[in-house]
Structure 1
Amino acid sequence: MEMNPESHVPVHKTESKDQLVDAGRGDIGACGWVILIISALFAAITFPLSIWFCVKIIKEYERAVVFRLGRIISGKAKGPGMMFVLPCTDTFIKVDLRVISFAIPPQEVLTKDSVTTTVDGVVYYKIENAIKSVGNVNDVHLATAQLAQTTLRNILGTQTLSSILSNREEIAHNIQSILDNATHQWGVNVDRVEMRDVRLPVQMQRAMAAEAEAVREARAKVVAAEGEMNASRALKEASMVICESPAALQLRYLQTLNTIATENNSTIIFPIPIDLLQGVVKK
């Protein structure tokens, strides 16, 4: 029978990355049990002096990953409260479960439209699985910070400058999703990513300011042209009304004189046609 070559791949590759560290209760061997018994006898003989070395206090927001002869014991992190460790055989590492924040240093990024910009941000995360954070990565905080910087540069390198300035929330959400998926095997949960500042070169700022000023001037000219067009239409309608009633022109003339006399104290001169004066003189 022909065997599918892909049937052997899932045996190793389908194992979840969450199980890179086996926290089960493995056998420490006969030599390990001998060392463990000797350590327990030493702690009993030196009691109560050994109590200061065997009893440890874990705070409410901390968990302790205990190693016994190099193996993680009890299958889970211990704490909070008091725990007992054996001298010489047991070691432990405290893990802080509170939300941790760090600032992403300013990253100089070349955008998709070939614009150089400097972007920084803030990442908020917390450790959900203490055993993974200790056993699967050397320094979980440094690894998360380095991955955040790399992800920020990779994501912004595929965006244009206008999209970076207008879609900050969407870009931050994409970065948060990528970080959360990548750090899941480290026992880390990325809660939030924020882009704090986007700094542009001085020449680019001047060019954008000139462009914005030109756009505003163009809009102002369009608005003025629309106003002139509407005013001309209104004057046309007014002229048609005045043509229908010649007396309306005289009334409008008197109203204009009244407005001038009210606003400014000035002398108003009425021009009289010379032909009219000649007729009076002849009479």
Structure 2
Amino acid sequence: MSQEGTGVGVRGGRASSREGASHLLSEYRATSSEGILEAGDMDKEHNTGYRTEAHVETGSNGVCTFLLTAISIFFIILTFPLSLLMCIKIVQEYERAVIFRLGRLVKGGARGPGLFFIIPCIDNYTKVDLRTVSFDVPPQEILTKDSVTVAVDAVVYYRIQNATVAVTNVEDYGRSTRLLAATTLRNVLGTKSLSEILSEREAISHTMQANLDEATDAWGVKVERVEM
């Protein structure tokens, strides 16, 4: 009887020891986690909260987009095949179409060349011409480095290398490029003397082309050539 009691006591002691060790281990992990959180994870909490709010907002927008898209497709099916006249669009070899759906840019980049489809009522698109375009920079009254006033004009050749960027990053890439070309012409020639302008026209044109090309890269514009 005493041996059995002793065995029970030993087993009970072992169980209590195991439970105590487990409890201590749990407390240690919790304490360590709290310490790590206090040391450097507060920013993660804020970021997690931000991502959660953004996810909820995106989810609600996604539901609205899905419902409106489903309704539009339903009406397309009801009015088929007449609806094809409104859904099918064509862009030429030298064009690209940038599509927006409910104000958001449609994934996949610009469409074209050839046929592409839109969903009426919720889609709108903008065609962009990829061919090289030229324009004249009006004569600019410039004061040279040696205090001589000259009137200089130029011709700029450019093309669109990224239709999506040209539509989304600048309101009017053509007008913006023209204004920037006039400003660049004045800035570059203002650092030259009259003799340098007359003798280094090719180098000045190359400098203008490089400066314009770098400045308009964010607009999806490629400046190919500048002639003074």
TM-score normalised over the length of structure 1: 0.59
Identity of aligned residues (%): 57
Answer yes or no: is 1:128 the counterpart of 2:161.
Answer: yes
Q: Matched residue pairs, number?
A: 170
Answer yes or no: is 1:94 the counterpart of 2:94.
Answer: no
1:162 paired residue number: 195
Answer yes or no: is 1:180 the counterpart of 2:213.
Answer: yes
- 4+ residue runs over 2 A deviation: none
Matching residue's letter, 2:212: L
Structure 1: how far apart are the matches of 2:138 and 2:96?
Answer: 30
2:77 paired residue number: 44
Q: Deviations over 1:166-186 (max 9, x none)?
A: 100000000000000001111
Structure 2: how far apart are the matches of 1:66 and 1:31?
Answer: 19
1:61 paired residue number: 94
Matching residue's letter, 1:33: F
1:112 paired residue number: 145
Shift of 1:74: 2.3
Q: Output aligned runs, 1:75-94, within 5 Å.
A: 75-94=108-127
Structure 2: how far apart are the matches of 1:84 and 1:112?
Answer: 57
2:4 paired residue number: none
Q: CA RMSD in A?
A: 1.1
Query: Residue 183 of structure 1: SS of its match in structure 2?
Result: helix
Matching residue's letter, 2:168: G
Answer yes or no: is 1:145 the counterpart of 2:178.
Answer: yes
Shift of 1:75: 3.0
Matching residue's letter, 1:175: M
Shift of 1:73: 1.1
Aligned partner (choices 66, 73, 77) of residue 106 of structure 2: 73
Shift of 1:52: 1.2
TM-score normalised over the length of structure 2: 0.73
Structure 2: how far apart are the matches of 1:44 and 1:182?
Answer: 47
Shift of 1:44: 1.2
